[in-house]
């Protein structure tokens, strides 16, 4: 495994909910992203994916745990110290329309991080902006346009170019294709793989779109109520999901073949409140194979193979696999 660019240990995030209560958004998450590696975070809405993205880029300060970026502990760094690191740690958000200043040309948007993080003069910044436009397959003429003159796919390419401007070591992509048409989405995914392969930048890819994650990542973590319930190599996890929640999540994805037989595993009941989390497995109240022991204590991760594990006690007796 390659040297870690990002190492997260025991990460927790609690948001105040009034009357002394807290929303437990992220609960003891551990993972790493190697140099040049693409790692996916998947889970339904409210699972903590986007919060983790904000935490590892230190746009939020965690309640507990540690975040090491490129060998340096950034968990509690002051904002003035983080500013120097942001050139190497970038994020691309879901909504490209909201991510760009509507009063700035695309050229100015691409040159802004260069002004903040480099000593390049005006001519060199202009040259770099042209290079970035070409890098994401946009016509150079695009640089003189404003965001409202571009399509959603073009705007997301601009956001990716801006993230690449300072040659980062890690880019966090938070649902970067969810607001785009299917045909446009394919082009963005192809671009991301091209960039990762040619630049060696590491990618943390956050998405609820399982097919997209399967295409662009080498490893994936499955989140439920802010906890990692399963993680492993993408191909192994998608072909042999072990945790009942992972099986439920994957069964909800529509296959490309409209004639394919669907094998649904719907979760039962409602998810517990993140304000009052149960003591055991977070999925126990909705799991069809749960037993009383599942609700007694948080299950440890069970190794299933090289770098593949799932936090489910039913693996031991083979009862973790849901029946079709």
List beta partners, residue 18: 21
The SS3 of residue 164 is helix
Is a pLDDT exceeding 60 seen at residue 214?
A: yes
pLDDT tops 90 at residue 253: no
Question: Which of 154, 206, 196, 152 lies closest to 175 in space, CA to CA?
Answer: 206
Q: Taking the CA of residue 311 as centre, how many other CA atoms within 13 Å lie in the half-sphere pointing to its CB?
A: 23
Residues 207 and 175: beta-carbon distance below 8 Å = yes
Checking if the pLDDT of 255 tops 80, the result is no
Cα distance between residue 47 and residue 145, in whole Å: 38
Quote the crossing angle between the two packed helices 122-135 and 152-164, to the nearest 10°: 130
Q: What pTM was estimated for this model as a whole?
A: 0.94
Instruction: Reply yes or no on whether the pLDDT at 254 is more than 70.
Output: no
pLDDT of 205 reads 97
Q: Cα dist. 257→208, 216, 242, 261 in Å?
A: 20, 20, 24, 9
- For residues 121 and 112, what is the distance between their CA atoms, to the nearest angstrom? 12
Domains of the chain: 4-88+168-315 (3.40.50.300), 104-159 (no CATH)
Q: What percent of the chain has pLDDT over 90?
A: 81
pLDDT band, residue 17 (cuts 50/70/90):
very high
Helix or strand holding residue 196 (H, E): helix 182-199
DSSP letters, 78-131, are: -HHHHHHHTTTEEEE-S-HHHHS-TTS-HHHHHHHHHHHH----HHHHHHHHHH
Name the least confident of 52-61, 136-145, 181-190.
Answer: 181-190
Pairing of strands 170-174, 89-92: parallel
- Does the pLDDT of residue 181 top 90, yes or no? no
pLDDT value of residue 228: 97
- Answer whether 6's CB lies under 8 Å from 57's CB: no
Angle in degrees, CA 183, 185, 187, rounded to 5: 80
pLDDT at 169 (0 to 100) = 97
For the chain, give the mean pLDDT: 92
**Cα distance between residue 269 and residue 249, in whole Å:** 15
**pLDDT tens digits, 291-320:** 999 999 999 999 998 789 999 999 999 999
Residue 324 reports pLDDT greater than 80: no
pLDDT in tens, 81-101: 998 899 999 999 989 999 999
Q: For the segment 188-212, what is each residue's pLDDT rounded down to a tens digit? A: 999 999 999 999 999 999 998 888 9
Q: Give 74's contacts (C-beta < 8 A, 6+ positions apart).
A: 58, 67, 68, 82, 85
Which tops the pLDDT comparison, 266 or 243?
243
CB-based contact 238:250 (threshold 8 Å): yes
Q: Provide the β-strand partners of residue 92.
A: 173
305 DSSP β-pair partners: 308
**What is the structure's pLDDT at 229?**
97
Please tell me whether residue 95 adopts helix, strand or coil conformation. Answer: coil
């Amino acid at each position: 495994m390659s040297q870690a660019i990002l190492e997260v240990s025991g990460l927790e995030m609690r948001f105040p909910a009034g009357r002394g209560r807290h929303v437990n958004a992220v609960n003891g998450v551990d993972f790493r992203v190697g140099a040049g590696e693409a790692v996916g975070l998947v889970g339904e809405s409210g699972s903590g994916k986007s919060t983790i993205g904000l935490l590892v880029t230190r746009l939020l300060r965690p309640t507990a745990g540690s975040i090491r970026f490129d060998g340096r502990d950034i968990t509690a760094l002051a904002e003035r110290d983080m500013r120097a690191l942001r050139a190497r740690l970038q994020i691309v958000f879901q909504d490209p329309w909201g991510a760009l200043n509507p009063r700035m040309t695309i050229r100015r948007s691409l040159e802004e991080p260069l002004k903040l993080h480099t000593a390049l003069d005006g001519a060199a910044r202009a040259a770099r902006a042209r290079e970035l436009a070409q890098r994401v397959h946009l016509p150079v003429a695009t640089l003189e346009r404003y965001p409202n003159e571009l399509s959603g796919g073009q705007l997301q390419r601009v956001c990716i170019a801006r993230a690449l401007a300072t040659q980062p070591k890690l880019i966090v992509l938070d649902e970067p294709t969810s607001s785009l048409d299917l045909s446009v989405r394919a082009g963005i995914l192809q671009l991301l793989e091209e960039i990762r392969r040619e630049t060696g930048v590491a990618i943390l890819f956050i998405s609820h779109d399982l097919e997209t994650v399967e295409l662009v990542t080498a490893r994936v973590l499955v989140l439920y109520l802010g906890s990692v319930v399963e993680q492993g190599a993408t191909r192994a996890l998608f072909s042999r999901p072990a945790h009942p929640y992972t099986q439920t999540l994957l069964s909800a994805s529509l296959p490309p073949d409209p004639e394919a037989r669907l094998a649904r595993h719907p979760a039962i009941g409602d998810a517990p409140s993140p304000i009052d989390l149960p003591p055991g497995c977070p999925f126990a109240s909705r799991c069809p194979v749960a037993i009383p022991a599942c609700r007694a204590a948080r299950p440890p991760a069970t190794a299933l193979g090289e770098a593949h594990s799932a936090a489910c006690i039913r693996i031991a007796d083979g009862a973790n696999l849901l029946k079709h």
